[in-house]
Structure 1
Amino acid sequence: MSKRGGGPSVASLEDQAVEPGPSHRPPSAEVPKKAKKSKPQAPQATPNRPAPAKQVAQNKPPAENKIPPIIIRDAAKWASVSSAMTTRQIKFSKAKTCIDGIRVNTVTVDDFRALTRLLEERKVPYHSFALPEQKTLRAVLRTVPCEILIDDVRADLEEQGLAPIKVTRMTSSRSKKPLPLVLIEVPKDKGAIFELKAVCHLSVTVERPHKKGTPSQCHRCQRFHHSQRHCHALPKCVKCGESHDTHSCEKTNEDAAKCANCGGAHTASYRGCPRFPRGPQAKKSSGSAAPKPQQKPAAVPAKQSATPAAPVRPSAPKTAPATKTAINDNASKSFAEAASSKKRFRSGSPH
């Protein structure tokens, strides 16, 4: 107990000292500040991220292991061929018509080989492409003198362990004269061909063959987008268009040429032929749709101005001056009429 007239004791003050809660806090004299409004920031340019690519199906083979298609040239024999494929259990994923016939995609390599055997047994014309394991490498040897025999070049390449498949001397397309260039073909695993430094004790340079800007043409059937190595169609002569090999053709320069593709009076290799692939057809594909006709762009309507245009006032018809009309009238009159009119005018005028 505190004494009368005295102040509270320290203990009583400590007992009464309670930390005020949020409801017991005295109101602050300060006015709360308003939150500053943040200025809108300019949108930052973000780099355009490429759209996520579509997920490729797991069962789709990569490009290097893709099984090539088989093009059956005679569409009339598709019914018998397809029934035989069902009997022999030759599976295919797709079959559709194309420019050269019917394009068939087999499922496995074994199906590919079985279908080619079936077509050869029935003598059905077709063409195809090389399997992945059959693909080879091609290279061009430069600065090989024309006096060096091809057999010597082949023997030297075999001694260096390159196992050449084909060795040919290149010739000029115009003069047909031999060139100091040798085209060689080796297995796919012989990539060391591009590191070759010498052939027959002569320094050479090796490079890849230059790709032509035009589509490839078969030297057997004269069709496009495949080679004669994998072509089993009927032979066609590039000169006369008949069903025989070009090397056995007896046509002379005086005889007229005939195209095997369109029947025109030119060779089958003529680039001006109407059957020569152009535009979308020049791409390497056995079936391509016809190009769509180009549509003219629609006319854009003219923008109307916000302010209305001032009304156009009709202009008064232009009248020719009286003097000219009088001159023209007098010109149409004779000299006697003009003189008499002047005489009447003078007599009628006041004196």
Structure 2
Amino acid sequence: MDGNEPPDPPDIQLPPNIQLSPTSASGFSYTPVLTAPLSHFNAVENLTRKRPISDEGTTKEIPNKQKRQNEYRLKYTETDIRPFLVHVSRLERDPSSGTTLHPIKFGQFLERMRFSGILRDGVKRVGRNKVSIEFSSGENANNFITSPSVIEHGYAASIPKYNITRMGVVRDIPTDWSLDEIIENLKVPSGIGKIIKARRINKKNMVNGSPEWQPTQSVILTFDGQVLPTRIYCCYTALKVEVYKYPTVQCFNCCRFGHTKMQCRSQPRCFKCSQNHSGDSCSVSEGDSYCIFCSGSHFSTYKKCPEFIRQTEIKCVMAEKNIPYEEAAKSFPASYKSYADISKSSPSPSYLNPSKSVTHPTTSYKKTVFSKPKSRPILTPGYDKQAHQSILKEFNIPQSENGYVLQTDSTSSYDNTDTITELVINLLVN
């Protein structure tokens, strides 16, 4: 075999839809026909190598969570307004550091690295493995996100989506349009961020006992920026944009809110009798049911349960004010109490101790203290009460002849102002 010629193809059994074609650099390359499955192509590649290719040398598929995160921008812009929030979580949990990210320990890391622009009360816990940092400006937040020391110490920083995006619902969109066609045909007004993604709302219909999803003309749009437009334009038509309110999702496995049964990782909890088993296999009727949240005689998945109504109101506040769930939930107290709270507030039943009767005391257990009355003040010798009373009894006010208070001659005229003034002055002086 000549050294300038390519080597002979390997003696292997190839699928009928795959052919080998020589190349000038590496002997043979594999050119699969479009109709060949991808699994056949991977099988041939492994057969022609002594060792299979490791995962490090191949292009891995990007996870869905990372794909969703890449759709949003990673920095604040000059048009963004406060608050400038950044969420931080651990990339790899260190067993020695525990399973939670403590805000005070993370604050020590921030002081040690001397990051600037952090508010005095800016670090808060927003989850077991996540903290929130509030900066005084968008530039300081961007410097923290792009800092290499954050990744070197095993942290991942990102801007929360609710702080830089707005979600709205647009109706009357043709059902035969794809999501790419929707984004391409919709035009936003000036001063509004671009449309990041679109999602069509599907309607669930039961056909022969099986669910089928039918597309509707309503589409959920995600806009970049902190302003939600009142309307957008599509093919010379104005479309009204309404605020998108997050749905109230409840798990039928653990009865908690925020996820579905397919995503649940908790122990089962019956939504009929609140015991530790699945609700699908429970035979308790609705009349004998017991709600986990409000202790009422209905299923825990009842739409008119106080806790379900509370969760719906929280989602409305989240959509209107663009705040996270933890902050919105502070405005609505929980509709249920823990066992410790109930035992403190409610008295013990009488059947637990029937031998003793409850008696209420009629007297106070505190000792009553009486103080002596104060003595009357002693009058000074300069004041004689009896002499004063006798003077008042003997004194008689003389009657005025002319009807005036000032006693003067009957011939004097009081029409003169100067005369009256002199009399008043003499009275005051004397």
Q: TM over 0.5, yes or no?
A: no
Where is the strand percentage greater, Structure 1 or Structure 2?
A: 2
Say which one has the larger Rg: 1
State the TM-score, normalized to the length of structure 2.
Answer: 0.33
